Amino acid sequence: MAASMFKQTFCFLKNAATSSFANVFCSSERSFTLYTYRARRRFKTVRRRYNYVPMGRPETPPDGKYTTEPLRFIRSGGRDLNGKVVNAKIGGGPKVSWFMRDSNYPEVGERDEKVLRVHPDPVRTAHLALVGSGNHKRYIIAHQNVKEGDVITTSCQIPPIPVRAVEGNAHPLGALPIGTIVHNIEKIPGEGGRICKAGGSSALILRTLGDKVVLRLPSKHEMALDPKCMATVGQVSNSGHDAIPWKGVGEKMSSGYRPRTGWRHRKTGYHGRKIKPKRTFIVKPTPPKYETFKLSGV
């Protein structure tokens, strides 16, 4: 059908205009066949089989409830759930425990909690503080000058006069005076802390813009948030963690960094480096020249 349509079209061109191409085309009795081609792949995809357990996420309690007990944390080794290497710098290190951190604030009322213990977190850069109130205990982000026995207060009220900013206490952004340093800030009221949670990070309350509070983040960017968003006064603990130099290769490897080099280091006995010394040159003496004797008749 398609071939007949092409032939009728060029015959119309012959009658309408004197085209040499149309004359040659219509005078020929060649048959036209249209072929359909299908794209094919030269190589067959083979799914690789990985003999490993998917890693990269900490284990949670079976019941899903909050707990202060240490949980198992399996290192990912730089691989995703499909086994593909996505980060070649991660790998190694001993087994570590993971603690559930509570970054939420109470929605109403006021609560006083006592700091029971402060210890570093092997998974995060900021230290953890175990606080308790009554029969309830939880881990929170420790601020810079926290110590055991301190009492921290969390209040959700916004008074007409700004409150006195005490390090470690949590208040809404609208209740704190301008120039206060805060951390563990909520982006949406009631969502929980989402901003400035790493070790040594903090934000500064700059000004009020209408019904918003403007903060300056560690990246020098400014963000306008709702005055009802909660925040903790002070700076996150462990502020100088990025300035501490590595003492050796073993310490860096135990922290989860895979050893890497810029070139192939041949240090085995096969390559003859650092094990057997180089050969020394031996200067042999020059052999004496032979003397030629001629025998005369006896």
Give the tens place of pLDDT for each residue, 234-275.
Answer: 999 999 888 888 888 788 888 888 877 666 666 666 665 555
Kindly state the tokens that stand for 187: 């982006």
Judged by DSSP in three states, 38 sits in: coil
Helix and strand totals (H; E) in the chain: 3, 14
Give the H or E element holding residue 251. Answer: helix 249-254
Summarised one tens digit per residue, pLDDT across range 140-151 is 999 999 999 999
Residue-wise pLDDT tens digits, 212-235: 999 999 999 999 999 999 999 999
Domains (range + CATH), the chain: 1-40 (no CATH), 104-233 (2.30.30.30)
Give me the torsion for CA of 110, 112, 113, 115, rounded to 10°: 130
pLDDT of residue 33: 55
Question: Inter-axis angle of helices 2-16 and 20-27, to 10 degrees?
Answer: 130
Cα 75 to Cα 256: distance, rounded to the nearest angstrom: 8
User: Looking at residue 259, what is its pLDDT?
Assistant: 77
Q: CA-to-CA distance for 47 and 49, rounded, in angstroms?
A: 6
Specify the pLDDT at position 268: 64
Residue 132 tokens, joined: 């308790």
Instruction: Determine contact, residues 68/138, Cβ cutoff 8 Å.
Output: yes
For the entire predicted model, the pTM comes to 0.66
pLDDT < 70 stretches in the chain: 1-57, 261-277, 297-298
- How does 82-94 read in b/e, with b if 16+ C-beta sit within 10 Å? eeeeeeeebbebe
